């Protein structure tokens, strides 16, 4: 055992996933490691290079990971001491999709894939680390102090997350070639050729007992080891690794890695004791990687028609549905959905500009309401405002006319994509909500200094916004106006507080659901207005009153409030969890019925689901009492 191997083992044991290996395993890995000296600005691999037989750990120095988008090199991440990169050989067969370049003189440890593979398949902690890291593409969750991070080598742009790989639907071959075990190798080879497939499932009573692939024929028949006239049983691989239909991209990739195979058999229940439904191949996984968020964003950027954007939105719906069925945390789903929906909105604006020509002044398009909070999973309505910079008085009319036309074209495109127009007219295409920065500042000043005087115009969703397109400084000016007005503004919070309490309670005195008493939804429960909106309104109210900037999402608002206002942290945290539960119930309802999910048929819920819904509604009462106590509501009561 060399001193170098011992020193490398001592270094590696400080960093995941190597800290999950014992001393002997660390020495075995360290003894096979190559040490590379990478000079400043020298590359280890570049985009489209063939995959290496090793992955890498930074021993000293810094390595930049970058990729090319639209002919521009973009820095994805910086790898410091202990960081792992170049893992693509574990997960795919196609070439590198990143460039790794030394930012300064660096020492890199090259760890052979063949040496490390056994520890991935044998050690659950190592496998979990790779799965978690591959799924999230973030600093790994096993390292709470953020000593290190693991970067996959798949490109994800516009700050979208690789976590979607964990729950992304996997398309596979659904009409597999099924062969009885009594067949000969020659017959199977002919059938595979006739059907243009590279694998066949060997069955007995329709249950899979083995699999043969092109590789089996090349390595066993073509080499002369086994005669072509032999029974297929002689060359098949058995037992076959089976998965169920809900297998994700990342799960499938790691199974292929764990068992060192190239195909998986899809069965009804994921075991070899049920009917065969299809086959997953390595090629299917490579194709599936084109459906990650980065590629979806790229599709959006290239879209030229509303139809193109609609197809992308339908992909997102599929991803949301799959994620819900896999119990992926709703917070992750919101992140991905929010980024993709913002990209769709941005492209709709760009298409409108392509039609109308360049804008006459700088402007900002803001999504408001649920879209501005990044809480829109279902195809609900669109809410937006447009703010253009102040211009000379003689140009004002022409400038506003342009932006009204731009807004109308944009909202029309979004309607074709599937986002309904707002029934309350809260859209930039409405002349009232498309105006100059000075006019918007006057509007917010009026709402906040004299609330209630024009109550038909104010809607609290105007205080939930995020920029989709345009000048960030314009958005900053609005935010500054709002937070200047919240200081010592008891009248405004009196108004907002009463507005938050105005909705009918979700449960009556006898703890029964307050159902709709008339109309087409008679007998149903309005989960939006009686469950979700009270939480949304209260979170907004407290965030504004405590002057907390930059937190728009309701769940995150309650989490932040629990830190800022620890005395009532238990209430805030209960409300945060309640918001997720209610949102999930609504989303499931909407996906099931292809609706907004607003109205729930209580009779169709199971007993346990009814209890879950009631429990999620319970914190609303505590929240209402806290509002009454905190704001001493009087004038608008």
pLDDT digits (tens, 9 = 90+) for 593-618: 888 899 999 988 888 888 999 999 99
- Amino acid 635: pLDDT: 60
Where helices occur in 45-142 by DSSP H, the ranges are: 88-91, 113-122, 124-136
- Amino acid 507: pLDDT: 84
- Amino acid 166: pLDDT: 47
- Amino acid 566: pLDDT: 92
- Amino acid 97: pLDDT: 77
H/E run at residue 312:
helix 306-325
Percent helix, strand and coil across the chain, each rounded to 5?
50, 15, 35
Q: Which residues contact 345 (CB under 8 A, 6 or more apart)?
A: 365, 367, 371, 384, 410, 414, 468, 469
Taking alpha carbons only, the member of 264, 227, 229 closest to residue 248 is: 264
In three-state secondary structure terms, 363 is: strand
Q: Which residues contact 510 (CB under 8 A, 6 or more apart)?
A: none
- Amino acid 4: pLDDT: 87
- Amino acid 450: pLDDT: 86
- Alpha-carbon distances of 253 from 88, 138, 165, 169, rounded to whole Å: 11, 19, 10, 13
pTM over 0.75: no
Q: What is the DSSP letter of 458?
A: -
- Amino acid 85: pLDDT: 87
Taking alpha carbons only, the member of 429, 434, 430, 498 closest to residue 460 is: 498
- Amino acid 3: pLDDT: 86
Residue with tokens 């997960």: 91
Spans of the chain, pLDDT less than 70: 1, 68-74, 76, 91-93, 121, 124, 127-169, 250, 286-295, 326, 453-458, 634-637
- Amino acid 146: pLDDT: 32
- Amino acid 37: pLDDT: 95
């Amino acid at each position: 055992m060399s001193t170098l191997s011992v020193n490398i083992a001592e270094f590696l044991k400080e960093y995941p996933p190597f800290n999950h290996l014992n001393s002997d395993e660390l020495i075995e890995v360290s003894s096979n490691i190559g040490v590379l000296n990478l000079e400043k600005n020298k590359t280890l691999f570049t985009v489209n290079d063939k995959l290496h037989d090793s992955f890498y750990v930074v021993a000293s120095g810094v390595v930049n990971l970058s990729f090319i988008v639209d002919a521009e090199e973009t820095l994805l991440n910086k790898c410091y001491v202990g960081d792992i990169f170049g893992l693509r050989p574990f997960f795919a067969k196609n070439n590198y999709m990143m460039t790794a370049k030394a930012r300064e003189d660096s020492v890199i440890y090259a760890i052979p894939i063949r040496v490390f593979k056994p520890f991935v398949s044998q050690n659950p902690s190592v496998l979990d680390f790779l799965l978690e890291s591959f799924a999230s593409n973030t600093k790994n969750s096993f390292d709470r102090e953020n000593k290190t991070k693991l970067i996959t080598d798949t490109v994800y742009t516009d700050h979208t997350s690789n976590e979607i790989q964990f729950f992304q639907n996997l398309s596979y071959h659904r009409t597999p070639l099924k062969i009885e075990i009594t067949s000969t190798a020659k017959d199977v080879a002919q059938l595979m050729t006739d059907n243009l497939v590279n694998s066949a499932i060997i069955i007995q009573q329709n249950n899979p007992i083995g699999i043969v692939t092109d590789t089996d024929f090349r390595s066993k028949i073509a080499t002369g080891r086994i005669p072509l006239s032999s029974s297929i049983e002689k060359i098949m691989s058995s037992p076959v690794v089976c998965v169920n239909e809900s297998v994700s991209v990342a799960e499938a990739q790691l199974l292929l890695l764990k068992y060192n195979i190239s195909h998986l058999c899809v069965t009804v229940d994921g075991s070899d004791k049920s009917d065969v439904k299809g086959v997953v191949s390595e090629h299917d996984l490579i194709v599936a990687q084109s459906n990650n968020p980065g590629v979806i964003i790229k599709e959006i950027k290239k879209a030229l028609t509303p139809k193109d954007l609609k197809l992308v939105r339908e992909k997102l719906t599929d991803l949301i549905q799959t994620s819900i069925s896999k119990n992926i945390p709703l917070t992750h789903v919101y992140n991905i959905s929010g980024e993709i929906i913002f990209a769709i909105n941005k492209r709709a604006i760009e298409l409108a500009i392509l039609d109308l020509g360049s804008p006459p002044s700088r402007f900002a398009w803001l999504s408001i309401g649920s879209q501005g909070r990044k809480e829109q999973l279902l195809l609900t309505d669109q809410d937006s405002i447009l703010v253009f910079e102040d211009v000379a008085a003689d140009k004002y009319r022409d400038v506003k006319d342009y932006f009204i036309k731009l807004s109308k074209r944009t909202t029309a495109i979004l309607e074709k994509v599937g986002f309904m127009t707002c029934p309350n007219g809260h859209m930039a295409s409405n002349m009232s909500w498309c105006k100059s920065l000075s006019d918007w500042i006057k509007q917010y000043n009026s709402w906040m200094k004299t609330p209630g005087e024009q109550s038909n115009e104010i809607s609290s969703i105007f205080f939930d916004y995020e920029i989709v397109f345009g000048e960030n400084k314009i958005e900053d000016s609005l935010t500054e106006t709002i937070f200047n007005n919240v200081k010592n503004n008891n009248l405004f919070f009196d108004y907002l507080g009463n507005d938050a309490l105005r909705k009918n309670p979700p449960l009556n005195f006898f703890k029964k659901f307050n159902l709709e008493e008339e109309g087409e939804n008679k007998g149903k429960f309005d989960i939006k207005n009686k469950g979700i909106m009270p939480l949304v309104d209260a979170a907004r109210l407290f965030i504004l009153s405590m002057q907390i900037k930059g937190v728009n999402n309701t769940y995150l608002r309650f989490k932040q409030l629990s830190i800022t206002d620890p005395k009532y942290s238990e209430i805030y945290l209960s409300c945060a969890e309640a918001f997720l539960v209610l949102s999930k119930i609504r989303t499931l309802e909407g996906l099931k019925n292809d609706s907004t999910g607003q109205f729930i048929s209580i009779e169709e819920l199971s007993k346990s689901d009814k209890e879950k819904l009631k429990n999620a509604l319970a914190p609303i009462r505590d929240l209402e009492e806290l509002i009454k106590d905190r704001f001493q509501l009087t004038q608008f009561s």
